[in-house]
Amino acid sequence: MAVSVIAATFAVTSAFMLPQNPAERIRLGEPVKITAEVMPATAQNTLYFENKYEIVTPFQTLTIEDDTMFLGDTVVATEGVDGVRQITERIGFRGGEEVYRAAIASTVLVEAIDKVILVGTNPAPRTTSYGEYHWPAEGKLESGFGRRSVAIGSRNHQGLDITGDKGDPIYAADGGVVITADSKMSGYGNLVRILHDNGDVTYYAHNSELLVAEGDLVYRGQQIAEMGRTGTASGIHCHFELRIDEVPVDPIGYLPER
């Protein structure tokens, strides 16, 4: 390749290049010498270089409505991943000072993946479980969870006893489906058990009357029974249990203060 062609590429004169590259033609692969220190600082002599660097391209977040999900529910369908882009820029120097800089190419190295969030739009039915429990009766807490000394009833108390008068309303602590509404479980008397959407089960025992049947869908705060003293009970009260993964837990930690 002629020195004059190479000189034009670097915006210098052949006269400037020849002392450093005596041959008038340079073969492909041979080094070309252009020493910036000896270049005169004139308007005609600008050295250009290419510089490459990478930048992160942040992912975008997309929200998509989904009518198969309940209103207020959200699910991350796809996690976002940042992308990577390579930028090539051309930089010009004249007399040791930068006089020109411009991006001349942009290459995607890693495609960004959008984060996708599904948002429910279907109104939840009234019987939906909220995962938060309300008190099943308005009476006074008579006996708590755990070991106790009593003449009648279990000494390892697996729930709460809430006192009241016969016939007082007993309410579902949360929405769900009734899986028991009978007196077949020993000691519980007339019992209602409700299976909630999260797998928890609540017990309402010793009722005088049952107002629901097995298979009924109930909502939080719906009256399901009337308070009584059936089964093994020392007095009129509602025995309330909460079981998580079939294990009785202290309901106090899941009920609002009152």
SS3 254: helix
Residues 6 or more apart in contact with residue 252 via CB below 8 angstroms? 144, 145, 160
> Is the pLDDT at 12 greater than 80, yes or no?
no
Residue 181 and residue 213 in contact, taking contact as beta carbons nearer than 8 Å = yes
Supply the mean pLDDT for the chain: 87
How large is the average pLDDT for residues 18-33?
62
pTM of the model: 0.59
d(CA 218, CA 177): 6
Look up residue 211 and give its amino acid. Answer: L
How large is the average pLDDT for residues 47-68?
95
Q: What is the pLDDT at residue 36? A: 46
Backbone angles phi, psi at 136, to 5 degrees: -80, -10
> Is the pLDDT at 5 greater than 50, yes or no?
yes
> Is the pLDDT at 80 greater than 70, yes or no?
yes
Report the Cα–Cα distance between both ends of the chain, in Å, rounded.
92
DSSP character at residue 232: S
How large is the average pLDDT for residues 5-30?
61
Residue 134 and residue 117 in contact, taking contact as beta carbons nearer than 8 Å = no
Lowest-pLDDT range, 39-43, 97-101, 184-188, 196-200?
Answer: 39-43
> Is the pLDDT at 228 greater than 90, yes or no?
yes
Q: What is the pLDDT of residues 184-195, one digit of tens each?
A: 999 999 999 999
pLDDT band for position 153 (cuts 50, 70, 90)? low
Q: What is the pLDDT at residue 38? A: 41
How large is the average pLDDT for residues 140-162?
76
Q: How many CB atoms lie within 10 A of CB 183?
A: 16
Q: What is the pLDDT at residue 96? A: 80
Nearest partner of 67 among 116, 115, 119, judged by Cα: 119
pLDDT band for position 42 (cuts 50, 70, 90)? very low
Backbone angles phi, psi at 216, to 5 degrees: -70, 140
Residues 6 or more apart in contact with residue 239 via CB below 8 angstroms? 159, 160, 161, 188, 203, 204, 205, 206, 233
Residue 28: left if φ>0, alpha if ψ -120 to 50, beta else—which one?
beta
Q: Which domains does the chain possess?
A: 1-45 (no CATH), 53-90+102-124 (2.20.230.10), 141-254 (2.70.70.10)
Of residues 18 and 251, more confidence is placed in 251
Distance of CA 211 to the CA centre of its chain: 39
| DSSP string across 151-178 | SSS-SEE-SEEEE--TT-EEE-SS-EEE
Distance of CA 88 to the CA centre of its chain: 37
